[in-house]
Structure 1
Amino acid sequence: MNHKILLVDDEKDIVDLIEEVLRRDGFQNIERAYTGADAVELCKTFDPDVIVLDIMLPDLDGIEVCKKIRGFSFCSILFLSSKNDDIDKILGLSSGGDDYITKPFSPREVVFRIKAQLRRQQYQASIHTPETETVAASSLFLDRESCRILKSGKELSLTGREFLLLAYLMENADKILSKERLYEHVWGEYSSICDNTIMVHIRHIREKIEDIPSSPRQLVTIKGLGYKLKKRVD
């Protein structure tokens, strides 16, 4: 397999174990880092498809590493953590992570999750792009060609998932979209973490597009049904 995998953990035994199982499964293009700083720099040159990232690192924690990587890469990031609290999972996902595995874990589970991320990437790449390259909704403007979304002429700073989610909402403005539909389109499949994942991303998008995020007027919740992005705001 030509997919590039970056393993980041300060425990060499864990990296060795995951790499061994990955190679048995056909993955050959694998790099490793033992500190957060090294992970960020290696990500710039290696350009991985998936990063397996431990949250507890000796220099930068994984959350901070993820935020730095999201400044230049849309690759899938799978967190490893010894913590099993929902708050920690939400923090990981809200920083730009795509999945979360709690230690102790089965190496086969890690491989399964990596393959799931790669399937999602293939799913997204196969989605037909409409002929129209621009979409407008109220003060928001989507330029598909440059992968930018602007609000009142100013480019929004979005993570990869935030961009995909907001772009899909804009393309379906004034339609009610269920959480399941949003997750299936942006992540490629539905899973049990859907509710928390969608809620976190919607909250962060509102912080960037709404004048008063706690009282949204454009990206609204339709109770029991999902979310709707209004094409026009009164």
Structure 2
Amino acid sequence: MRSEAILVVDDEDGIVVMLDNLLRREGYTHITKATSAAEALTAVRAVRFDMIVLDVMLPDMDGFTLCTEIRKTSNTPILFLTARSSDLDKLQGLYLGGDDYLTKPFNPLEVVARIHAHIRRSSIYASDSMNTEELYKFDRLTVNRTTGQLIVNDEEVPCPAKEFELLLYFCKHPNRVFTVQQLYEQVWGTMVDGDEKTVVIHISRLRKKLEADPSVSKLIVTLRGIGYKFVPPTRSLR
């Protein structure tokens, strides 16, 4: 039996029951089910979840708005499930703090596989953090793996789990060029078509936190047609 707590939010009872059954077969027993945004917010305020599966179309609040509310108090990985298949909807969900995105109809086993991958990586990350103190300090940018803190210009900046893991990976490998596929596989897992947008959006969100002018990035540099590299700051970020 697994100890991780999972929140499944969807207004379709059939999907909630199906995911609950599949996850229990995989050994997850701490599963909370919600069919509305109000129920989900109540659950998030009461329980520290390891994973949240979130539908976009809810009766009382859309999932994008709910994600924004959750991000005010929680950095738990969020996987969006939605019937909206346009790139704009996917980009919006990722920009607002989502970590992953699947469209309906979906393969239930893929949902479970992605949930398991997120939890497994978070578990490895937490275990490594307990055993090894890691502190990266570049001028006014500090990334503390042990405490999970991002400090920019002496101020703590909230950073969801996948953003933090991506930034930490960059910090471990400064000035090294990575393709989008390499970054996705290191932080999220096996890459499939469409997942490159996940990396691009997370880098965009990091730039807003790190850069004085995100449109002219000096820290996470784009090498067109190749990928990205992290160039540690040597002067003030402002």
TM-score, normalised with respect to structure 2: 0.85
1:31-50 aligned at under 5 Å gives the runs 31-50=32-51
1:37, 1:59 within 8 Å by CA — same for their partners in 2?
Answer: yes
Residue 182 of structure 2 is matched in structure 1 by 181
Q: What is the CA-CA distance between 1:127 and the residue it aligns to?
A: 4.6
- Matched letter for residue 15 of structure 1: V
Residue 65 of structure 1 is matched in structure 2 by 66
1:129-144 aligned at under 5 Å gives the runs 133-144=134-145
* Paired-residue identity, %: 38
Q: What is the CA-CA distance between 1:197 and the residue it aligns to?
A: 0.9
What do the CA deviations read for 1:171-221 (whole angstroms, capped 9, x no partner)?
322222332332223224434343201111111111222122111122211
The answer to which of 35-44 and 171-180 deviates more is: 171-180
- Matched letter for residue 183 of structure 1: Y
Residue 190 of structure 1 is matched in structure 2 by 191
Q: What is the CA-CA distance between 1:146 and the residue it aligns to?
A: 2.3
CA distance in 1, matches of 2:111, 2:144: 35
Q: How many residues align?
A: 234
- Alpha carbons of 1:130 and 1:83: their partners in 2 closer, same or farther (altered >3 Å)? same
1:27 equivalenced with 2:23 (yes/no): no
Residue 170 of structure 2 is matched in structure 1 by 169
Please provide the CA RMSD for this pair. 2.5
> Match of 2:218, SS?
coil
Residue 216 of structure 1 is matched in structure 2 by 217
Q: What is the CA-CA distance between 1:140 and the residue it aligns to?
A: 1.0
> Which ranges of 4 or more aligned residues in structure 1 deviate by more than 4 Å?
126-132
Residue 56 of structure 1 is matched in structure 2 by 57
Q: What is the CA-CA distance between 1:85 and the residue it aligns to?
A: 0.6
CA distance in 2, matches of 1:94, 1:231: 24
Residue 120 of structure 2 is matched in structure 1 by 119
CA distance in 1, matches of 2:172, 2:26: 38
Unaligned residue ranges in structure 2 (runs of 5+): none
What do the CA deviations read for 1:110-154 (whole angstroms, capped 9, x no partner)?
323322333333443455789563212243122233221222212
Unaligned residue ranges in structure 1 (runs of 5+): none
1:137, 1:173 within 8 Å by CA — same for their partners in 2?
Answer: no
- Alpha carbons of 1:25 and 1:165: their partners in 2 closer, same or farther (altered >3 Å)? closer
> Match of 2:178, SS?
coil
Residue 16 of structure 2 is matched in structure 1 by 15
What do the CA deviations read for 1:85-132 (whole angstroms, capped 9, x no partner)?
111112122222222222223433332332233333344345578956
- Alpha carbons of 1:171 and 1:46: their partners in 2 closer, same or farther (altered >3 Å)? same
- Alpha carbons of 1:185 and 1:71: their partners in 2 closer, same or farther (altered >3 Å)? farther
